[in-house]
Amino acid sequence: MPLSGVADLVGRVLVDRYRLVAPIGAGGSGRVYVAEDVRLRRRVAVKVLHAALADDAGFLRRFRAEAQHAASLHHPNVMAVYDWGQDTVPFMVLELLTGGSVRGMLDAGHRLTPSQAAYVGRQVAAALSYAHTRGLVHRDIKPANLLFDEHAIVRVADFGLARALAEASWTEPAGTVVGTTRYGAPEQASGVALDARADLYSLALVLVECVTGTVPELADSPFGTLARRGQVPITAPPELGALGPVIERAGRPDPDERYPDAATMGDALATAARQLPPPGSLTLVGLGAALEDPHPTRTGRSGQLFDQDAEPTVATGVVDAETMDALLVDGAPRRRRSGRAVPFVVAALVVAVLVAAAVLVARSAGGSTVDAPQLVGLDEAAAATEASAAGVLLEITRRDSDDPKGLVIAQDPSPGSWLSERGTVRVVVSRGPQPVPIPDVAGQPEADAVATLEQARFAVVTQHRNDENVRAGLAIGTDPPVGTQQTPETEVTLVVSTGPAPVLVPNVAGDAYDVAAARLQSSGFTVERVDEFSTTVEKDKVIRTAPAGGERVARGSQITVVVSKGPELVKVPNFRNDTLEQAQQKLAASGLVGDFQNYLPDRVVRAQEPEPGTDVPRGSKVTLVFIRSS
């Protein structure tokens, strides 16, 4: 698997806390290691990103924000994010899942039945639904990001990372699109903002591959693939059975024709699952020998906390070639070394034996020796106790750092190294991070203000409120206020204006227009007059306003005032000598209502009230008297 320029860092300790034990996966953006958290004494997974990203300030800012967002997700189907940081390269610390990935299962030749695919899909949909409702779109759903714990529970990994990479100035060496185009939705090629429905499209592609072993609608190039998917919907192969309709709806080119959200797609998968036999047990590929520490006594150091590097540590164990070759990358075993490597391995073993023998002789000749204890991660008092129990002395140097005050953040020599009894172990104890002033962001657009505070290494929480003097979208200030000294990572509230508070529209219905206009203008509104007829409101009085009185709208808004013209007047036609049919036509044309008296089929109108030519309100009644025609 290509490593995208990420060096092998096995044995190194990132930020004097995470010791990288063995690689377990690699991709275009970086490499994943099994690691040991030396402070909490637990195994974790560490994703080390490409070194070129460390020089991209925009990426680091976005990466930090996305990592914090991802760390806030707590769901049984979302991989937990424990920590993030930078130690010449940016990295994320994740929970270690030992069941392997869907990618590893497929690479090992284990396809899923439709029932098993529905089982996996429902859990992924649940994770997506949880994240989407919190404003986080994954953007890179693929088999390598779907991992299993030891109980075959699915966890979705890398939430937020694809977005941070997409906005970075760095591009991968091969020039590929950030985010796996192989599983990309067609809208990814258009440059529009991706929403939750893009993740559902990618999930549909993954489920097809789980059952059939192939990804639908692939072309010769990444962009050709996206263009093709924009024209052709996913057609579910017959092997998918009851899953077919779910796949085809989620795989339509137009996002508006897909499921509206992940919860709805999850319900559809549950319905399909009820039509399928119960799923059998999944064949997990696991991490294999990668969980074994090939250097159990070695702890790497950055070399930046002490004035001089410590003496090199002598390894006390040898990892045989069989164990090293068993390390897995994305669930696939590495190829065995050829027989031509055997002489070199034998020679290395001979040298190791000679070195070990020389060290043993030195130990017996030089008096009693002890192993340096593990002190990094302990507080100062606990480290002193541990050193006393091990029979060594402490030399303490204090440094400012982002770690809690009083915590041992480095030591020399490293744990497991030999030194003479009553020898000295130098340790660096954190004085805690130095406080820094909160910068002045008043008047900056919200995005710029957030970036300024994040560059000062504060955790930003945004709060919106009305302000009579600050335009909407601009920063009003911060809490704590500008200039206040705070330690990095302290939560700072950014207060952003939503503009002046909405103003109550006065109720002017029934007022004369001039009076109503004056009241509205004094409240800060502009006025537009519209006249219409009314049979209920006196002429030149206000019928209503839009928006209506009692509503709250933005100051300066235009209020439409509807003013009565009084009733609409029409002239009464002459109905004399008209038949009933003729009279009805004239009434309809004039907007009048007829009152017919003495009507028979052979009669015509001989009298009417009101008289012809009289002005009456539209809708008035006209009495028509019929007599026999002569």
Q: Residues for the chain: how many in total?
A: 630
Q: Which fold has domain 436-497?
A: Trypsin Inhibitor V; Chain A (3.30.10)
Whether the CB-CB separation of 452 and 485 falls below 8 Å is answered with no
Per-residue pLDDT of 403-419, as tens digits, reads: 778 888 888 887 777 78
Whether the CB-CB separation of 53 and 170 falls below 8 Å is answered with yes
Residue 532 pairs in a beta bridge with 564
pLDDT of the residue at 164: 63
Collapse the DSSP code of 411 into the 3-class scheme (helix H, G, I; strand E, B; otherwise coil) and give the result. strand
pLDDT of the residue at 396: 93
Q: Mean per-residue pLDDT for 130-159?
A: 89
pLDDT of the residue at 30: 75
Average pLDDT, the chain: 81
HEC-encoded secondary structure of 581-598? HHHHHHHHHHCCEEEEEC
Q: Which fold has domain 294-325+340-430?
A: Trypsin Inhibitor V; Chain A (3.30.10)
CA-to-CA dists, residue 20 to 38, 48, 93, 378, angstroms? 11, 10, 11, 19
Q: Mean per-residue pLDDT for 292-303?
A: 40
Which range (64-78, 494-508, 538-552) has the least confidence? Answer: 64-78
pLDDT of the residue at 27: 67
Per-residue pLDDT of 363-400, as tens digits, reads: 444 446 788 888 887 888 988 998 888 888 999 999 87
Chain region(s) in the chain for CATH 3.30.10.20: 294-325+340-430, 436-497, 503-564, 569-628
Confidence of residue 54 (pLDDT cuts 50, 70, 90): low
Q: Is the pLDDT of residue 310 over 50?
A: no
Q: What is the pTM of this model?
A: 0.48
With both helix axes pointing from N to C terminus, report the angle between 446-455 and 57-71 in degrees, rounded to the nearest 10.
90
Rounded Cα distance between 131 and 69, Å, is 10
Q: Mean per-residue pLDDT for 589-607?
A: 92
Rounded to the nearest 10°, the torsion over CA 543, 546, 548, 553 is -150
Confidence of residue 72 (pLDDT cuts 50, 70, 90): confident
Q: Is the pLDDT of residue 351 over 60?
A: no
Burial of residue 86 (CB within 10 Å: 0-12, 13-18, 19+) is middle
Q: Does domain 503-564 have CATH number 3.40.50.720?
A: no
Fill in the amino acid letter for 334.
Answer: R
Rounded Cα distance between 181 and 138, Å, is 13
Q: Mean per-residue pLDDT for 266-272?
A: 94
Q: Mean per-residue pLDDT for 335-350?
A: 43
β-strands 491-497, 459-465 pairing: parallel
Q: What percent of the chain has pLDDT over 90?
A: 45
Which range (216-220, 331-335, 447-451, 551-555) has the least confidence? Answer: 331-335
Q: Is the pLDDT of residue 143 over 90?
A: yes
Which range (15-29, 52-66, 95-109) has the least confidence? Answer: 52-66
Nearest in space to 255 (alpha carbons), one of 237, 236, 229: 229
Q: Mean per-residue pLDDT for 590-610?
A: 92
Whether the CB-CB separation of 358 and 382 falls below 8 Å is answered with no
Rounded Cα distance between 450 and 464, Å, is 13
Q: Is the pLDDT of residue 597 over 70?
A: yes
Burial of residue 353 (CB within 10 Å: 0-12, 13-18, 19+) is exposed
Give me the architecture of the 13-273 domain, per CATH: Orthogonal Bundle (1.10)
Would you tell me how many other CB atoms lie within 10 Å of the CB of residue 481? 11
- Which residues carry out catalysis? 140
Whether the CB-CB separation of 184 and 143 falls below 8 Å is answered with no
pLDDT of the residue at 245: 96
Q: Is the pLDDT of residue 84 over 80?
A: yes
Fill in the amino acid letter for 432.
Answer: G
pLDDT of the residue at 336: 35
Per-residue pLDDT of 420-479, as tens digits, reads: 777 899 999 988 778 889 999 999 999 999 999 988 888 899 999 999 889 999 999 999
Higher pLDDT, 323 or 145: 145
pLDDT of the residue at 78: 92
Per-residue pLDDT of 171-210, as tens digits, reads: 444 333 334 678 989 988 776 778 899 999 999 999 999 9
Whether the CB-CB separation of 513 and 497 falls below 8 Å is answered with no
pLDDT of the residue at 313: 28
Which range (12-16, 243-247, 417-421, 570-574) has the least confidence? Answer: 417-421
- C-alpha 164: how far from its chain's center? 10
Rounded Cα distance between 45 and 96, Å, is 5
Alpha carbons within 13 A on the beta-carbon side of 359: 16
Cα angle 67-71-76, degrees, rounded to a multiple of 5: 135
Rounded Cα distance between 340 and 52, Å, is 36
Q: Is the pLDDT of residue 7 over 80?
A: no
Collapse the DSSP code of 223 into the 3-class scheme (helix H, G, I; strand E, B; otherwise coil) and give the result. helix
Only one residue has tokens 């030195």, namely: 362
Confidence of residue 141 (pLDDT cuts 50, 70, 90): very high
Chain region(s) in the chain for CATH 1.10.510.10: 13-273
- C-alpha 315: how far from its chain's center? 43
pLDDT of the residue at 178: 39
Confidence of residue 402 (pLDDT cuts 50, 70, 90): low
Which range (86-95, 122-131, 155-164, 485-494) has the least confidence? Answer: 155-164
Q: Which fold has domain 569-628?
A: Trypsin Inhibitor V; Chain A (3.30.10)
